[in-house]
Amino acid sequence: MSDTKDPTAIFMPSGKRGQVPAGTSVLDAARQLGVDLDSVCGGRGICSKCQVTPSYGSFSKHGLTVEPDALSEWNAVEARYAEKRGLLKSRRLGCQAKILRDVVIDVPEESQVHRQVVRKRAEARQIVLDPATRLYYVEVDQPDMHEPSGDLDRLERALAEQWGLLHVKGDLRTVQMLQPALRRGNWAVTCAVYHGDSLGEARIMHVWPGFYEGGIYGIAIDLGSTTIAGHLCDLATGEVLASSGLMNPQIRFGEDLMSRVSYSMMNPGGAAEMTRVVREAINMLISQAAAEARIAPELIFEAVIVANPVMHHLLLGIDPVELGQAPFALATAASMVLWATEIDLKMHSDARIYILPCIAGHVGADAAAVALSEAPNQSDDLVLVVDVGTNAEILLGDRNGVLACSSPTGPAFEGAQISAGQRAAPGAIEHVEIDPDTREPRFKVIGCDLWSDEPGFAAATRQTGITGICGSGIIEVIAEMRMAGLLDPSGLIGGAEATGSARCVADGRTHAYLLHEPADGRGRRVMVTQGDVRAIQLAKSALYAGARLLMDQLGVDTVDRVVLAGAFGAHISPKHAMVLGMIPDCDIAKVTSAGNAAGTGARIALLNSAARREVETLVTRIHKVETAIEPRFQEHFVAANAIPHATDPFPLLRQAVPLPDVSFGASNRGGEPRRRRRG
Amino acid sequence: MSDTKDPTAIFMPSGKRGQVPAGTSVLDAARQLGVDLDSVCGGRGICSKCQVTPSYGSFSKHGLTVEPDALSEWNAVEARYAEKRGLLKSRRLGCQAKILRDVVIDVPEESQVHRQVVRKRAEARQIVLDPATRLYYVEVDQPDMHEPSGDLDRLERALAEQWGLLHVKGDLRTVQMLQPALRRGNWAVTCAVYHGDSLGEARIMHVWPGFYEGGIYGIAIDLGSTTIAGHLCDLATGEVLASSGLMNPQIRFGEDLMSRVSYSMMNPGGAAEMTRVVREAINMLISQAAAEARIAPELIFEAVIVANPVMHHLLLGIDPVELGQAPFALATAASMVLWATEIDLKMHSDARIYILPCIAGHVGADAAAVALSEAPNQSDDLVLVVDVGTNAEILLGDRNGVLACSSPTGPAFEGAQISAGQRAAPGAIEHVEIDPDTREPRFKVIGCDLWSDEPGFAAATRQTGITGICGSGIIEVIAEMRMAGLLDPSGLIGGAEATGSARCVADGRTHAYLLHEPADGRGRRVMVTQGDVRAIQLAKSALYAGARLLMDQLGVDTVDRVVLAGAFGAHISPKHAMVLGMIPDCDIAKVTSAGNAAGTGARIALLNSAARREVETLVTRIHKVETAIEPRFQEHFVAANAIPHATDPFPLLRQAVPLPDVSFGASNRGGEPRRRRRG
């Protein structure tokens, strides 16, 4: 029995509607109707987070007309706010404007608490902003000696009464900073409250006097074997303010994970030393990112870290030795919430670290993050997700189930173990084309948009030089060499006589392809040696074998789509990956890049606390296949060694690149390609 | 419809009885019937905590006869246990002995989980052992690479399955130590689990390989303004293994609390410096106690700390400045659970500190602990509890309600500000008698059972000497001086002419009483000066005024009983306290000493985690009266300055000590005693 005289409020874009007593503020109406409208100051006209845009005129669809006097007049608080900080003419402060007559109110994206964070890829799952740490402005009762209670007790009561936050507790540091803050802020403070602790308890992490106008930040960290990458985000907007990366300094203890495990086994204190250096590197990353974003590291309240199991253990100060031998037992597979101080990270002194769960001894929190980002478990078609790094983590599945494995590709895909290899940085060759007739190459280097045979290239690259070849470049050049007939299916580089190219030069007992000879003596000669081809063959065989193993398990011969992930996966050309036989058969139009999906998964978990619960459930439902003890993995690995482009398994490619088979008499060491099943 | 053929088991002393299927172990039967029978190993014949004593013969009261074959035969596990560690003939291991026929089983005190910890005083509440930290032995599944899970995950599952412990979480340190412990212990470990975290979550604090045979310990600390006392307890038995004490090193920043608050206000960084030294002192106390008990400090898993508000704040690193001025706002009044590392305490690295709640800005966690120990809220008669220390905390009430206040007595009662004063230590005069006829004194010193006029006293005290007078001694000597006519009601010491005693010597413009003159030149001359009497008068007036204020509030003129608490309260002679007018009228037989009740309250909270919830509720129900702003407190204070023994308000005392009034002409500065209301 609603009073028909009460005005109707309709909120857009949600379409939520209802009647409210005349004089209700827009913010209160939004709360009553369950509309997502932000507020930090609790409706006191301070924070301006509750800005809305009223619409006027006739809304026949909703059956109502909004008169110009539907809302109360622009008031003094709004006028002051407009004068001091600016307020668009069309905007109102939701806590000040009162609903007098029927009204349609638009809640702009930036006034929604749970707004979507922009992701570039159309097919990617969107990130809904819902961080674990949020700001609350409260007015706290003054102490009364006749009703004695502590400052913290009164603050907790204020949070419960003014924000409905129950079970909010202060830490010792909160208590220490609260006393002066309350008095400086004249009994009003802004609190950063962390909601991510277990069992629904929330923690006060920081207290500022009065209304705090600054930001609070979080950092999503992808701790890889070779590189460490971090995205510093504004927790209130989801915006990425800085992205930093650096080499994992543990490389000096071993390039791949198993060498680091060995280092730990052979050197007493080795694990502790590796723990120390990786924590130091993360601190450097944090301080780099904070400097880039021009914020104090003490304003970083949360970090989310994803890592493979060995890095996960080394970061946590756990000896990784058990991960080097069957049954590859993790010390813990569950997600963890730590204080930053527990792992010596330098950010806010009460900052919390969320570490994603691991899937298994060889499939870590990084794979869990990829699963969170790419959501194969929500896919209608069968998707193969390959996270290409020093290890490849492979996920295969759809909404009926997801399988996972890890494959030891080694660091060749990242430019390591390659004669002219280097990490992706300005000056590195990242794209290569070889003319099938002349066998002459052209290439592009990072930091320059021109091809090497275009005018101005030399000038444009004078600054950086041409310093080597990065992971994506090495894949392209080897695929191109195969397509140009410089390489036989076994991976053997032909000599100048066999290939008709003077760039195929003798190099000991084998040959090498001269990709770049510096004309002016500046920079480096870039060769592709037989050893480089072998390294890539091993890596791609491992990758392919892992994917095949999962496909066997699922009883399928093809997948519907392939997602290439990994910082490096972002730059791989799908065509070249297929020519090389890195990934199984698939319509090439269905091969996409997800960029650094592990890093994105970390960012999702940073910005949306529900995603943490989601990934914790998800990992328990992913079925792990152990490559290390599966004989079929070895079979697939051996069989995948060849570069079988000549057998032409890709109908689409055949149209695009109609090349003759090439053979120059070398033995086919990789054996006959076994992927003819489609023929 | 129980099977009448099932044997009946009766457990004593609880009297719990029930039928169990023949072949049920005594331990299982106890669990089914809700009998309190301990076990750490979960019934695996390892821990021997479940020892029981079967009774045989006819039990007409219970209507059954126990045959010699009521239990299964002594088995190999019991034989091995008896051989290795000893097992009384009459005893059985509850997990091994199976019930075959009707049986009566006695559960000895030491096999009960919730056994009572012995307290000496008959009237004291008993402590039921139920510590927050307990040991659990579990067998953990080995890792299986086909069902990957972390070591911690499997441990948590084992604790749930084998002990019904849900929501048990491991810390990072647990994870770090678990991996080697599981392997060394052949997939069995003993865990120390802490149940005291909020919202029912439990935390694994330590993991030992296999069955851990050692103990786990806790320490109850009474952090006073002048002294810090600690009781180190075995958490499994409740036994006090060591009691240590030391001076609070903050004394150098100010003897009483308000001087320390001033120090903090006058000296930037002063509060931090005081925090540092008190934490250092507690660490010294912990290491002293651990050394005395011959245990490693790392085996101390819990500490409970009680303190007055200023010490509470300084310990926590909170500036006490707000406690020095109205409205005396505490930074937090609630209880706190901290990690030892948060306040730099050196014990187990995961140890938890429980800090009792405060009642108000002047009535702290120490008063809460006294309330917990003395339970005035459970008293049928009206009890006045006085915790005498540098500040006096005063509680007055019964089961209908409890009032509290704090009174600034200063440190005179502890021997400070007294010319020959010292803390209670060997060599200090602690008891004094003055012959009313000769006015000659005799005394006892700490560390010697003889009176000073008994043969052998000189020899017995040669070692310690006679070094000064402690708090209880100064009270006794002043009361005795008054009774012997050496002091008038205003507190003035008479000269030799007025008193007829050559011991009343001139001392500047006033007189002093020569209590002890070393005969052999060894040791110290001990005088009671006019300044000493004045200091004690101020202190006792403050104490009395506080008690009176609470009595006014309750509208009573007398109390039913008085409990003197405080390390020093333990040594005060009730008779002398009454002569001095420290405490209000009361039947002297109803004045008892509770010893260090604050320390006992800390020990209760250490050994019984339910007591923590109890005191948290209790403090919210105690009504605080603020002496600092109550004009009647000043009135009572001024009125109480006299030493009105001569007015003879104590009928019982009159019989015991029939002394004439004495006056030597000095003015009665304290005014006419106003406590004649009984007359």
pLDDT band at B3 (very low <50, low <70, confident <90, very high): very low
Candidate from A103-107, A312-316, A638-642 with smallest mean pLDDT: A638-642
CA-to-CA distance for A46 and A213, rounded, in angstroms?
10
B141, B176, B209 - which closes a domain: B209
Task: Kindly list the distances between the CA atom of residue A658 and the CA atoms of A501, A648, A650, A661, B540, in Å, as whole numbers in the listed order.
Answer: 20, 10, 11, 10, 108
Are residues A611 and A666 both part of a single domain? yes
Are residues B556 and B495 both part of a single domain? no
Match 């009998």 to its residue by tokens: B35
Tell whether B672 is covered by a domain: no
Q: What is the percent of chain B with per-residue pLDDT over 90, rounded to a whole number?
A: 65
Best mutation target, B142, B149, B198, to test chain A (most A CBs within 10 A): B149
- When computed from its CA atoms, the radius of gyration of chain A, rounded to whole angstroms, is 30
Is A583 in contact with A556 (CB distance < 8 Å)?
no
Beta-ladder partners of A397 = A383, A402
CA-to-CA distance for B613 and B215, rounded, in angstroms?
25
Structure confidence by residue, pLDDT tens digits, A353-412: 999 999 998 899 999 999 999 999 999 999 999 998 778 899 999 999 999 998 888 878
- A contacts of B331 (beta carbons < 8 Å): 150-152, 175-176, 178-179
pLDDT band at A136 (very low <50, low <70, confident <90, very high): very high
pLDDT band at B671 (very low <50, low <70, confident <90, very high): very low
Candidate from A92-96, A103-107, B122-126 with smallest mean pLDDT: B122-126
pLDDT band at B522 (very low <50, low <70, confident <90, very high): low
- Average pLDDT over chain B reads 88
Are residues B107 and B121 both part of a single domain? no
Candidate from A64-68, A435-439, B361-365, B390-394 with smallest mean pLDDT: B390-394
CA-to-CA distance for B220 and B236, rounded, in angstroms?
15
Match 């509290």 to its residue by tokens: B404
Q: What is the percent of chain A with per-residue pLDDT over 70, rounded to a whole number?
A: 92
pLDDT band at A189 (very low <50, low <70, confident <90, very high): very high
Among the partner residues A146, A176, A624, nearest to B317 by beta-carbon distance: A176
Q: What is the percent of chain B with per-residue pLDDT over 70, rounded to a whole number?
A: 92
CATH number at residue B54: 3.10.20.30
CA-to-CA distance for B438 and B447, rounded, in angstroms?
27
Q: How many residues does chain B have?
A: 679
Size of interface A-B (CB pairs under 8 A): 144
Are residues B285 and B382 both part of a single domain? no
Is the Cβ of A359 closer than 8 Å to some Cβ of chain B? yes
Residue closest to A580 by CA, chosen among A507, A672, A475: A475
Instruction: Say what the pLDDT of residue A572 is.
Output: 84
> Where would I find the H helices in A504-650?
530-554, 574-580, 597-607, 609-621, 631-639
B432 HSE (CA, 13 A, CB side): 33
Asked if residue B644 has pLDDT above 70, the reply is: yes
DSSP state of B317: T
- Average pLDDT over chain A reads 88
CA-to-CA distance for B113 and B38, rounded, in angstroms?
5
pLDDT band at B345 (very low <50, low <70, confident <90, very high): very high
pLDDT band at A679 (very low <50, low <70, confident <90, very high): very low
Asked if residue A121 has pLDDT above 90, the reply is: no
Instruction: Say what the pLDDT of residue B120 is.
Output: 66
Match 């909160």 to its residue by tokens: A174
Are residues A78 and A122 both part of a single domain? no
Is A222 in contact with A602 (CB distance < 8 Å)?
yes
Structure confidence by residue, pLDDT tens digits, B42-74: 888 888 899 999 999 998 888 889 999 999 999
Structure confidence by residue, pLDDT tens digits, B156-188: 999 999 999 988 988 899 999 999 999 999 999
Instruction: Say what the pLDDT of residue B674 is.
Output: 35
- B contacts of A330 (beta carbons < 8 Å): 143, 148-151
A84, A111, A138 - which closes a domain: A111
Please state whether beta strands A428-434 and A468-469 pair in parallel, antiparallel, or not at all (unpaired).
parallel
Asked if residue A657 has pLDDT above 50, the reply is: no
B107 burial level (CB within 10 Å; 0-12, 13-18, 19+): buried
Structure confidence by residue, pLDDT tens digits, A36-64: 999 999 888 888 899 999 999 998 888 88
Is A382 in contact with A403 (CB distance < 8 Å)?
no
- Give the distance, in angstroms, between the CA of residue A578 and the centroid of all CA atoms in the same chain: 25
CA-to-CA distance for A660 and A645, rounded, in angstroms?
10
The one-letter amino acid at A350: D
Candidate from B386-390, B594-598, B648-652 with smallest mean pLDDT: B648-652
Both tokens of B523, joined, read 């040791």
Structure confidence by residue, pLDDT tens digits, B430-443: 999 999 899 999 99
Match 């602690």 to its residue by tokens: B430
Q: What is the mean pLDDT of residues A20-36?
A: 94
Provide the shortest C-alpha distance from residue B465 to chain A (in Å).
47
- Give the distance, in angstroms, between the CA of residue B18 and the centroid of all CA atoms in the same chain: 40
Tell whether A589 is covered by a domain: yes
Instruction: Say what the pLDDT of residue A71 is.
Output: 95
Domain that holds residue A57: 8-111
Cβ separation B179–A331 shorter than 8 A: yes
| Most confidently modeled range among B254-258, B578-582, B611-615 | B611-615
Are residues A304 and A403 both part of a single domain? no
CATH number at residue A128: 3.10.20.880
CA-to-CA distance for B431 and B425, rounded, in angstroms?
13
C-alpha angle A659-A662-A668 in degrees, rounded to nearest 5? 130
Structure confidence by residue, pLDDT tens digits, A587-639: 889 998 888 899 999 999 999 999 999 999 999 999 999 887 888 999 999 99
Are residues B555 and B467 both part of a single domain? no
Is B285 in contact with B230 (CB distance < 8 Å)?
yes
Tell whether B45 is covered by a domain: yes
CA-to-CA distance for A597 and B261, rounded, in angstroms?
56
Is B152 in contact with B31 (CB distance < 8 Å)?
no
Are residues A572 and A608 both part of a single domain? yes
Instruction: Say what the pLDDT of residue A502 is.
Output: 92
CATH number at residue B291: 3.30.420.480
Residue closest to A179 by CA, chosen among B332, B98, B493: B332
Tell whether A135 is covered by a domain: yes
- Is there a cis peptide before residue A327, judged by omega within 30 degrees of 0? yes
The secondary structure element, H or E, covering residue B459 is: helix B457-460
Tell whether B382 is covered by a domain: yes
- Give the distance, in angstroms, between the CA of residue A473 and the centroid of all CA atoms in the same chain: 23
- B contacts of A172 (beta carbons < 8 Å): 316-317, 336, 338, 342-343
Provide the shortest C-alpha distance from residue A176 to chain B (in Å).
5
Tell whether B444 is covered by a domain: yes
CA-to-CA distance for A197 and A172, rounded, in angstroms?
16
Are residues A23 and A90 both part of a single domain? yes
Asked if residue A463 has pLDDT above 80, the reply is: yes
For residues A523 and A506, the model is more confident at A506
Residue closest to A539 by CA, chosen among A613, A472, A449, A632: A472
Structure confidence by residue, pLDDT tens digits, B189-222: 999 999 977 666 789 999 999 999 999 999 999 9
- B contacts of A198 (beta carbons < 8 Å): 167, 169, 201
Edge-to-edge, what's the strand order for the sheet holding A300-307? Answer: A240-247, A227-234, A217-223, A300-307, A352-355, A336-339
- Give the distance, in angstroms, between the CA of residue B240 and the centroid of all CA atoms in the same chain: 11
Both tokens of B274, joined, read 């005081």
Are residues A635 and A546 both part of a single domain? yes
Cβ separation B318–A169 shorter than 8 A: no
Instruction: Say what the pLDDT of residue B290 is.
Output: 96
Tell whether B670 is covered by a domain: no
Other C-beta atoms lying within 10 Å of the C-beta of residue B75: 15
Is B242 in contact with B292 (CB distance < 8 Å)?
yes
Secondary structure E strands in A224-320: 227-234, 240-247, 300-307
pLDDT band at A416 (very low <50, low <70, confident <90, very high): confident
Instruction: Say what the pLDDT of residue A84 is.
Output: 85
* Most distant CA pair in chain A, distance: 101
Q: What is the mean pLDDT of residues B310-318?
A: 95
A466, A497, A525 - which closes a domain: A525
Residue closest to A537 by CA, chosen among A638, A426, A666: A638
Provide the shortest C-alpha distance from residue B142 to chain A (in Å).
9
CATH number at residue B610: 3.30.420.40
What pTM value is reported for the model?
0.83
Other C-beta atoms lying within 10 Å of the C-beta of residue A665: 8
- Give the distance, in angstroms, between the CA of residue B250 and the centroid of all CA atoms in the same chain: 22
Residue closest to B587 by CA, chosen among B377, B382, B380: B382
Residues 360-419 of B with CB under 8 A from A: 360-361
- A contacts of B327 (beta carbons < 8 Å): 142-145
Edge-to-edge, what's the strand order for the sheet holding B168-170? Answer: B133-139, B188-194, B202-209, B168-170
What is the number of domains present in chain A?
5
CA-to-CA distance for B410 and B412, rounded, in angstroms?
6
Are residues B382 and B475 both part of a single domain? no
Tell whether A219 is covered by a domain: no
Residues 456-495 of A with CB under 8 A from B: none
SS3 B335: coil
Residues whose CB is less than 8 angstroms from the CB of residue A94 and which lie 6 or more positions away in sequence, other chains included? A25, A26, A27, A30, A37, A39, A50, A51, A52, A111
Are residues A550 and A500 both part of a single domain? no
Provide the shortest C-alpha distance from residue A121 to chain B (in Å).
33
Best mutation target, B175, B319, B335, B623, to test chain A (most A CBs within 10 A): B175
Please state whether beta strands A227-234 and A217-223 pair in parallel, antiparallel, or not at all (unpaired).
antiparallel
Structure confidence by residue, pLDDT tens digits, B447-481: 899 999 999 998 998 888 899 999 889 999 999 99
Q: What is the percent of chain A with per-residue pLDDT over 90, rounded to a whole number?
A: 65
Task: Kindly list the distances between the CA atom of residue B40 and the CA atoms of B51, B92, B134, in Å, as whole numbers in the listed order.
Answer: 12, 16, 9
